[in-house]
Amino acid sequence: MGKRTFNYITHIRNTSDHRPKFNRSWIDFWKEEAGQSSPKCCIYGCPNKADRGAHVYLDEERSWWIVPVCSECNPPDNSSWDVKANTIAVEARGSGQWA
Ligand SMILES: [Zn+2]
C-alpha cells in the first residue's frame, strides 16, 4: 500500500460504490494502514475528529487516495482543500469495486 504526504486534496465525486476489502469502512482501512487509531480531520484549520475516509486526489496527481476527514469536510463535489502538514494518505488500490 502506498502512503505519502502532500499539500492539498481534491475530492473525487461518485465514489460511494467503491468499498474496501473485508467489509471495513474507509476510515478503518485508513487507521489500519496508517497506524493511527484516532485521527483528526486532515483539513487545514478543522478541529474535528475524523469519522470517515474521503476519496481524494493529491496535489496534481490523479490516482485515488484515502484521507481522514469529518462530516463537514467531505462534500460530494470536486472541491479542493488545503491539508494539515504531515497528513498521511493511503492509496486506495484497485480501480474496481474492491480496494
Ligand atoms: Zn473537518
pLDDT tens track of the chain, all 99 residues? Answer: 588 899 999 999 988 888 887 778 999 999 999 999 999 999 999 999 999 999 999 998 888 999 999 999 998 899 999 999 999 999 986 445 544
Q: What is the pTM of this model?
A: 0.88
Kindly give the distance from the C-alpha atom of residue 38 to the centroid of ligand 1, in angstroms, as a whole number: 14
pLDDT at 34: 93
Q: Which residues contact residue 69 at a Cβ distance below 8 angstroms, ignoring those fewer than 6 apart?
A: 41, 42, 43, 46, 50, 52, 53, 54
pLDDT at 95: 45
Kindly give the distance from the C-alpha atom of residue 18 to the centroid of ligand 1, in angstroms, as a whole number: 22
Kindly give the distance from the C-alpha atom of residue 81 to the centroid of ligand 1, in angstroms, as a whole number: 10
Q: Which residues contact residue 92 at a Cβ distance below 8 angstroms, ignoring those fewer than 6 apart?
A: 18, 20, 26, 55, 64, 65, 66, 99
SS3 46: coil
* Grid cell digits, residue 50: 475524523
Kindly give the distance from the C-alpha atom of residue 15 to the centroid of ligand 1, in angstroms, as a whole number: 19
Burial 54-85 (b: 16+ CB within 10 A, else e): bbbbbeeeeebbbbbbbeebbeeeeeebebee
Kindly give the distance from the C-alpha atom of residue 6 to the centroid of ligand 1, in angstroms, as a whole number: 17
Q: Which stretches within the chain are classed as H helix?
A: 26-34
Kindly give the distance from the C-alpha atom of residue 12 to the centroid of ligand 1, in angstroms, as a whole number: 16
Element (H, E) at 3: strand 3-4
